[in-house]
C-alpha cells in the first residue's frame, strides 16, 4: 500500500476506493496497525508548515534455497519519509549512517528530470529542470515535453523526434495525440511529431522503460496506438501499460494496468489482460504471459522503487541507473539473495544501502561513483 493513503487517512481525505484499500491493509495485521499508530502520533506532533513527500520504505530479505532450509527470515521496516524540514518521530529506530570514509569527493546524486531531444533535422536540445524550450508545436518547461496536434499537418509525410533519457534521469512527454508517456532512466523513445489521421499511431521504444497512458482510438478515427520494441509490437486501443526493454535485458516485459492490448511478434498474437505481464524472448521468439503485481512494476512512475522477490544484484542494477552509479559485485552469493523492499527514489542512495545492510545479509560500500557488493 502507498504511504500517501496513510497521510490521506490522517487528513480524512480518502476516496471510497482508497478507503477500501486502507481498511484491508489496516485489518491485515497487528504490525500494520502499530505502524499506523506510530505515524499518527508523529504526524500530530509535526508543525503544520511541514511538507511531506510521499514515500515509505520497508525491506525484507529472502534467503537462497540452501539457507531457506533454516526457515530464517530477516525483516526490517523503516519509514523513509522525505521531509522539507525533518519530523522528529517516524523512525522507531534511527538508521545507521554509512561510515564517513566511504564518502569520497564524487558523490552519487539522486536522479532528476533531464533528457536530450533530437529534432527532425538532427538538432539536439538539452532539457533540464528550470530551463524552457519552444519549437514549432512542441514546448518544455524542463520537466515535461508537450506536443500540440496540428490538423493541417496530418496528411503530410511523418517526421520524427527522439527523446533520450540518460542514466540518472527521467522525463514525461505528451505526444501530439495526447498520449502520455513517462520515461525511466537510460531510455530512448522515437515518435512522430504529428500522427496521420488514417494510419496507426506508431512509436518505438528503442530501449529502456516507459509507462504509457494512451489516448483512446475513438478520439482518433479508430486508429490504433502501436509501440515497437526489439521485435515486439504492442497494439493498443486505449489503455495504460508499462514496457521494460533495457539494452542489457534478455527479455522484453510488458505489464498491463488497465484496458487490453495485443502482443505481436513473428506473426503470432497474444492478448494481455489487466494485471498480467508478458515476457518476450527475442532470441527464442517466445512469449510467456503470467499474473503480475503491476502496481509494483509501475511504482517507479510515482517516485518509488518497489521490489518483489528480486535478487539483490538485479535490485542494485535498477538503483544504479537512477543514481547514475556503477556496480561492482565481488560476492555473487550475496547478490543472489532475494529481497522485498519499497523505497522513495528521491532520497540519498546511502540511506537505501544502509537499510539493506541492516538485514545483516550483505555488506555494501561505495567508492567514488561505484556501489560494491562484498
Give me the number of domains the chain comprises. 1
Q: Is residue 262 part of a domain?
A: yes
**Spatial contact of 239 and 259, defined as CB atoms under 8 Å apart:** yes
Q: Is residue 219 part of a domain?
A: yes
What is the model's pTM? 0.73
Per-residue pLDDT of 120-164, as tens digits, reads 999 999 999 888 999 988 999 999 999 987 655 445 678 999 999
Backbone angles phi and psi of 142, in degrees to 5 = 95, -10
d(CA 234, CA 224): 10
Which comes out higher in pLDDT, residue 151 or 19? 19
**Residues 102-115 as b or e (16 or more Cβ within 10 Å = b):** eeeeeebebbebbb
Which comes out higher in pLDDT, residue 56 or 23? 23
Which comes out higher in pLDDT, residue 89 or 238? 238
Q: Is residue 171 part of a domain?
A: yes
Q: Is residue 360 part of a domain?
A: no
Cell match 545483516: residue? 360
Nearest to 241 by CA among 202, 207, 277, 217: 277
Q: Is residue 228 part of a domain?
A: yes
Return the pLDDT at 27: 83
Q: Is residue 252 part of a domain?
A: yes
Q: Is residue 313 part of a domain?
A: no
Q: Is residue 234 part of a domain?
A: yes
| Domain around 274 | 112-292
As a whole number of angstroms, the longest Cα–Cα distance in the chain is 69
The long-range contacts involving 294-302, CB below 8 angstroms and separated by at least 24 positions, are 294/242, 294/255, 294/256, 294/257, 297/242, 297/244, 297/253, 297/255, 298/211, 298/242, 298/255, 298/257, 299/342, 300/184, 300/209, 300/211, 300/345, 301/182, 301/211, 301/242, 302/2, 302/54
CATH of the domain at 154: 2.60.120.1440
Amino acid at each position: 500500500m502507498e504511504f500517501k493513503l496513510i497521510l490521506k487517512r490522517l487528513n480524512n481525505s480518502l476516496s471510497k476506493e482508497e478507503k477500501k484499500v486502507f481498511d484491508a491493509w489496516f485489518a491485515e495485521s497487528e504490525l500494520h496497525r502499530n505502524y499506523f499508530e506510530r505515524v499518527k502520533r508523529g504526524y500530530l506532533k509535526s508543525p503544520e508548515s511541514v511538507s511531506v513527500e510521499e514515500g515509505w520504505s520497508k525491506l525484507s530479505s529472502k534467503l537462497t534455497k540452501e539457507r531457506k532450509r533454516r526457515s530464517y527470515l530477516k525483516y526490517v521496516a523503516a519509514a523513509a519519509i522525505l521531509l522539507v524540514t525533518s519530523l522528529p518521530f517516524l523512525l522507531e529506530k534511527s538508521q545507521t549512517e554509512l561510515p564517513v570514509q566511504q564518502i569520497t569527493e564524487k558523490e552519487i546524486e539522486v536522479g532528476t528530470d533531464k533528457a536530450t531531444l533530437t529534432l527532425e533535422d538532427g538538432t539536439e536540445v538539452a532539457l533540464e529542470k528550470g530551463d524552457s524550450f519552444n519549437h514549432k508545436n512542441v514546448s518544455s518547461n524542463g520537466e515535461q515535453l508537450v506536443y500540440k496536434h496540428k490538423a493541417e499537418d496530418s496528411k503530410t509525410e511523418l517526421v520524427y523526434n527522439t527523446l533520450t533519457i540518460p542514466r540518472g534521469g527521467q522525463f514525461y512527454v505528451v505526444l501530439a495525440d495526447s498520449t502520455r508517456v513517462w520515461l525511466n532512466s537510460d531510455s530512448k523513445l522515437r515518435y512522430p511529431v504529428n500522427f496521420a489521421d488514417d494510419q496507426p499511431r506508431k512509436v518505438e521504444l528503442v530501449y529502456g522503460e516507459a509507462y504509457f497512458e494512451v489516448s483512446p482510438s475513438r478520439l482518433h478515427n479508430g486508429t490504433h496506438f502501436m509501440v515497437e520494441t526489439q521485435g515486439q509490437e504492442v497494439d493498443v486501443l486505449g489503455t495504460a501499460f508499462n514496457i521494460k526493454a533495457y539494452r542489457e535485458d534478455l527479455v522484453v516485459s510488458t505489464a498491463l494496468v488497465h484496458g487490453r492490448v495485443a502482443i505481436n511478434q513473428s506473426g503470432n498474437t497474444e492478448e494481455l489482460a489487466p494485471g498480467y505481464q508478458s515476457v518476450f524472448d527475442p532470441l527464442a521468439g517466445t512469449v510467456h504471459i503470467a499474473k503480475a503485481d503491476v502496481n509494483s512494476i509501475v511504482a517507479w512512475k510515482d517516485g518509488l522503487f518497489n521490489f518483489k522477490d528480486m535478487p539483490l544484484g538485479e535490485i542494485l542494477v535498477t538503483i544504479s541507473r537512477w543514481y547514475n552509479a556503477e556496480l561492482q559485485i565481488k560476492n555473487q552469493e550475496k547478490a543472489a539473495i532475494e529481497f522485498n523492499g519499497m523505497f522513495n527514489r528521491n532520497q540519498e542512495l546511502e540511506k537505501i544501502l544502509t537499510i539493506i545492510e541492516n538485514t545483516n545479509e550483505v555488506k555494501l560500500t561505495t567508492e567514488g561513483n561505484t556501489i560494491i557488493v562484498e
